Amino acid sequence: AQSVTQPDIHITVSEGASLELRCNYSYGATPYLFWYVQSPGQGLQLLLKYFSGDTLVQGIKGFEAEFKRSQSSFNLRKPSVHWSDAAEYFCAVGAIGDYKLSFGAGTTVTVRA
Amino acid sequence: NAGVMQNPRHLVRRRGQEARLRCSPMKGHSHVYWYRQLPEEGLKFMVYLQKENIIDESGMPKERFSAEFPKEGPSILRIQQVVRGDSAAYFCASSPQGAEETQYFGPGTRLLVL
Protein backbone atom coordinates (compact mmCIF):
# COMPACT_ATOMS: atom_id res chain seq x y z
CA ALA A 1 0.00 0.00 0.00
CA GLN A 2 1.21 3.47 -0.75
CA SER A 3 1.92 6.04 1.93
CA VAL A 4 3.35 9.50 2.17
CA THR A 5 5.22 10.99 5.10
CA GLN A 6 5.85 14.67 5.59
CA PRO A 7 8.12 14.75 8.65
CA ASP A 8 7.74 18.45 9.37
CA ILE A 9 4.36 19.54 10.68
CA HIS A 10 5.24 23.22 10.84
CA ILE A 11 8.09 25.30 9.43
CA THR A 12 8.75 28.97 10.05
CA VAL A 13 10.96 30.82 7.61
CA SER A 14 11.97 34.44 7.14
CA GLU A 15 10.87 36.27 4.03
CA GLY A 16 13.61 36.04 1.45
CA ALA A 17 15.12 32.90 2.97
CA SER A 18 15.16 29.53 1.26
CA LEU A 19 12.59 26.85 1.97
CA GLU A 20 12.76 23.08 1.76
CA LEU A 21 9.85 20.78 2.57
CA ARG A 22 10.47 17.10 2.95
CA CYS A 23 8.40 14.28 1.53
CA ASN A 24 9.06 10.55 1.70
CA TYR A 25 6.87 8.00 0.02
CA SER A 26 6.30 4.30 -0.08
CA TYR A 27 4.87 2.90 -3.29
CA GLY A 28 5.13 -0.49 -4.93
CA ALA A 29 5.12 0.69 -8.52
CA THR A 30 6.77 3.59 -10.28
CA PRO A 31 5.22 6.58 -8.55
CA TYR A 32 3.75 9.77 -9.83
CA LEU A 33 4.49 12.49 -7.31
CA PHE A 34 2.72 15.77 -6.70
CA TRP A 35 2.97 18.83 -4.53
CA TYR A 36 -0.15 20.83 -3.78
CA VAL A 37 -0.53 24.08 -1.87
CA GLN A 38 -3.58 25.03 0.15
CA SER A 39 -4.00 28.64 1.23
CA PRO A 40 -6.30 29.30 4.20
CA GLY A 41 -9.90 28.60 3.29
CA GLN A 42 -8.97 27.67 -0.26
CA GLY A 43 -8.77 24.49 -2.27
CA LEU A 44 -5.65 22.68 -3.34
CA GLN A 45 -3.61 24.11 -6.15
CA LEU A 46 -1.20 21.88 -8.05
CA LEU A 47 2.34 23.26 -7.75
CA LEU A 48 4.17 20.61 -9.74
CA LYS A 49 4.20 16.95 -10.63
CA TYR A 50 6.75 14.30 -11.51
CA PHE A 51 5.94 11.43 -13.84
CA SER A 52 9.24 10.50 -15.43
CA GLY A 53 12.35 11.94 -17.02
CA ASP A 54 14.37 14.74 -15.47
CA THR A 55 14.33 14.26 -11.72
CA LEU A 56 14.36 18.01 -11.06
CA VAL A 57 10.90 19.39 -11.74
CA GLN A 58 10.01 23.04 -12.06
CA GLY A 59 6.61 24.23 -10.92
CA ILE A 60 4.61 27.39 -10.56
CA LYS A 61 5.38 30.24 -8.19
CA GLY A 62 9.12 29.57 -8.32
CA PHE A 63 8.96 26.15 -6.70
CA GLU A 64 10.95 23.10 -7.72
CA ALA A 65 11.17 19.54 -6.46
CA GLU A 66 13.71 16.78 -6.84
CA PHE A 67 12.84 13.09 -7.12
CA LYS A 68 15.40 10.81 -5.51
CA ARG A 69 14.45 7.20 -6.06
CA SER A 70 17.23 5.85 -3.82
CA GLN A 71 15.89 7.86 -0.90
CA SER A 72 12.19 7.55 -1.82
CA SER A 73 11.98 11.30 -1.49
CA PHE A 74 10.44 14.19 -3.38
CA ASN A 75 11.45 17.35 -1.53
CA LEU A 76 10.06 20.74 -2.46
CA ARG A 77 12.28 23.82 -2.57
CA LYS A 78 12.09 27.51 -3.15
CA PRO A 79 15.20 29.72 -3.14
CA SER A 80 13.54 32.84 -1.72
CA VAL A 81 10.14 32.78 -0.07
CA HIS A 82 7.57 35.54 -0.22
CA TRP A 83 4.98 36.32 2.44
CA SER A 84 2.33 34.97 0.08
CA ASP A 85 3.91 31.51 0.32
CA ALA A 86 2.48 31.09 3.81
CA ALA A 87 0.15 28.13 3.37
CA GLU A 88 -0.15 24.41 3.90
CA TYR A 89 1.72 22.14 1.52
CA PHE A 90 0.75 18.60 0.70
CA CYS A 91 2.81 15.93 -0.99
CA ALA A 92 0.85 13.20 -2.79
CA VAL A 93 1.68 9.97 -4.60
CA GLY A 94 -0.17 8.11 -7.31
CA ALA A 95 0.63 6.13 -10.43
CA ILE A 96 -0.39 5.97 -14.04
CA GLY A 97 -4.09 5.24 -14.16
CA ASP A 98 -4.26 5.22 -10.35
CA TYR A 99 -6.89 7.71 -9.34
CA LYS A 100 -6.47 7.17 -5.60
CA LEU A 101 -3.97 9.81 -4.67
CA SER A 102 -2.41 9.30 -1.24
CA PHE A 103 -1.63 12.48 0.62
CA GLY A 104 0.74 13.29 3.42
CA ALA A 105 -0.57 15.07 6.50
CA GLY A 106 0.79 18.39 5.27
CA THR A 107 3.39 20.94 6.32
CA THR A 108 2.26 24.38 7.42
CA VAL A 109 4.63 27.15 6.39
CA THR A 110 4.69 30.42 8.28
CA VAL A 111 6.62 33.34 6.78
CA ARG A 112 7.90 36.00 9.15
CA ALA A 113 8.85 39.48 8.04
CA ASN B 1 -12.14 28.90 -17.87
CA ALA B 2 -13.83 27.97 -14.62
CA GLY B 3 -12.13 25.46 -12.38
CA VAL B 4 -13.80 22.88 -10.21
CA MET B 5 -16.70 24.46 -8.40
CA GLN B 6 -18.12 23.36 -5.10
CA ASN B 7 -21.01 24.63 -3.07
CA PRO B 8 -21.76 25.46 -0.47
CA ARG B 9 -18.35 26.53 0.80
CA HIS B 10 -19.48 26.22 4.39
CA LEU B 11 -22.30 24.11 5.75
CA VAL B 12 -23.55 23.84 9.31
CA ARG B 13 -25.82 20.98 10.29
CA ARG B 14 -27.19 19.64 13.55
CA ARG B 15 -26.75 16.01 14.41
CA GLY B 16 -29.28 13.85 12.57
CA GLN B 17 -29.77 16.24 9.65
CA GLU B 18 -28.75 15.61 6.06
CA ALA B 19 -25.87 17.28 4.28
CA ARG B 20 -25.72 17.68 0.50
CA LEU B 21 -22.48 18.77 -1.09
CA ARG B 22 -22.30 19.68 -4.76
CA CYS B 23 -19.44 19.61 -7.22
CA SER B 24 -19.22 20.77 -10.81
CA PRO B 25 -16.09 19.48 -12.59
CA MET B 26 -13.90 21.49 -14.89
CA LYS B 27 -15.22 21.88 -18.39
CA GLY B 28 -14.29 18.85 -20.43
CA HIS B 29 -13.63 16.64 -17.41
CA SER B 30 -15.75 13.53 -17.09
CA HIS B 31 -14.24 12.03 -13.94
CA VAL B 32 -15.01 13.22 -10.43
CA TYR B 33 -13.39 12.25 -7.14
CA TRP B 34 -14.37 13.07 -3.59
CA TYR B 35 -11.84 13.33 -0.77
CA ARG B 36 -12.28 14.07 2.92
CA GLN B 37 -9.84 16.03 5.03
CA LEU B 38 -10.14 15.57 8.76
CA PRO B 39 -8.46 18.11 11.06
CA GLU B 40 -4.67 17.75 11.15
CA GLU B 41 -4.74 15.08 8.45
CA GLY B 42 -4.15 14.82 4.73
CA LEU B 43 -6.88 14.16 2.22
CA LYS B 44 -8.35 10.66 2.09
CA PHE B 45 -9.96 9.24 -1.03
CA MET B 46 -13.67 8.49 -0.74
CA VAL B 47 -15.23 7.80 -4.12
CA TYR B 48 -14.60 7.99 -7.87
CA LEU B 49 -17.45 8.61 -10.29
CA GLN B 50 -18.01 9.00 -13.98
CA LYS B 51 -21.27 10.17 -15.48
CA GLU B 52 -24.06 7.94 -14.13
CA ASN B 53 -21.55 5.42 -12.76
CA ILE B 54 -19.82 4.85 -9.45
CA ILE B 55 -16.44 3.41 -10.34
CA ASP B 56 -14.92 2.99 -6.88
CA GLU B 57 -16.51 3.80 -3.53
CA SER B 58 -14.05 1.85 -1.43
CA GLY B 59 -13.09 4.90 0.65
CA MET B 60 -16.61 5.87 1.54
CA PRO B 61 -18.27 4.74 4.79
CA LYS B 62 -20.81 2.02 4.08
CA GLU B 63 -23.60 3.70 5.94
CA ARG B 64 -25.10 7.17 5.66
CA PHE B 65 -22.83 8.26 2.78
CA SER B 66 -23.76 8.17 -0.88
CA ALA B 67 -22.57 9.84 -4.05
CA GLU B 68 -23.90 10.34 -7.53
CA PHE B 69 -22.89 12.03 -10.76
CA PRO B 70 -25.99 12.27 -12.94
CA LYS B 71 -26.05 12.70 -16.68
CA GLU B 72 -26.99 16.33 -16.19
CA GLY B 73 -25.93 18.51 -13.31
CA PRO B 74 -23.30 18.40 -10.62
CA SER B 75 -21.99 15.49 -8.62
CA ILE B 76 -23.62 15.20 -5.20
CA LEU B 77 -22.13 13.80 -2.02
CA ARG B 78 -24.90 13.09 0.44
CA ILE B 79 -24.48 12.42 4.13
CA GLN B 80 -27.57 11.30 5.97
CA GLN B 81 -28.08 11.62 9.73
CA VAL B 82 -24.84 13.49 10.23
CA VAL B 83 -22.78 12.98 13.37
CA ARG B 84 -20.09 15.19 14.90
CA GLY B 85 -17.38 12.96 13.44
CA ASP B 86 -18.51 13.94 9.94
CA SER B 87 -17.19 17.46 10.53
CA ALA B 88 -14.44 17.86 7.96
CA ALA B 89 -13.51 19.53 4.71
CA TYR B 90 -14.81 17.67 1.68
CA PHE B 91 -12.95 18.24 -1.54
CA CYS B 92 -14.00 17.38 -5.02
CA ALA B 93 -11.51 16.89 -7.83
CA SER B 94 -11.89 16.25 -11.52
CA SER B 95 -9.73 14.92 -14.30
CA PRO B 96 -10.04 14.37 -18.02
CA GLN B 97 -10.41 10.87 -19.37
CA GLY B 98 -7.06 9.10 -19.68
CA ALA B 99 -5.34 11.28 -17.08
CA GLU B 100 -6.95 10.12 -13.88
CA GLU B 101 -3.80 10.71 -11.86
CA THR B 102 -3.76 14.45 -12.57
CA GLN B 103 -6.58 15.86 -10.53
CA TYR B 104 -7.70 19.43 -10.15
CA PHE B 105 -9.33 20.31 -6.87
CA GLY B 106 -12.19 22.57 -5.95
CA PRO B 107 -12.20 24.94 -2.97
CA GLY B 108 -13.89 22.40 -0.73
CA THR B 109 -16.96 22.38 1.48
CA ARG B 110 -16.32 22.74 5.18
CA LEU B 111 -18.99 20.84 7.06
CA LEU B 112 -19.55 21.55 10.72
CA VAL B 113 -21.89 19.31 12.66
CA LEU B 114 -23.19 20.78 15.89
Q: Which of A108, A104, A106, A107 is nearest to A26 (CA)?
A: A104
A77-111 pLDDT per residue, tens: 999 999 999 999 999 998 777 788 999 999 999 99
Chain B nearest CA to A35, separation (Å): 11
Residues from B contacting A (CB-CB < 8 Å) are 4, 6, 31, 33, 35, 40-45, 48, 55-56, 59, 91, 95, 100-108
Contact list in A for residue B41 (CB cut-off 8 A) is 105
Q: List per-block mean pLDDT (blocks of 10 residues) for chain B, which spans 114 residues.
A: 87 98 93 92 92 93 95 95 96 88 90 97
Confidence at residue A95, expressed as pLDDT on a 0 to 100 scale: 78
Pairwise CA distance, residues A98 & A89, whole Å: 22
A25-66 pLDDT per residue, tens: 998 777 899 999 998 877 889 999 998 888 999 999 999 999
Confidence at residue B57, expressed as pLDDT on a 0 to 100 scale: 94
Confidence at residue B64, expressed as pLDDT on a 0 to 100 scale: 97
Q: Dmax over Cα atoms in chain A, in whole Å?
A: 43
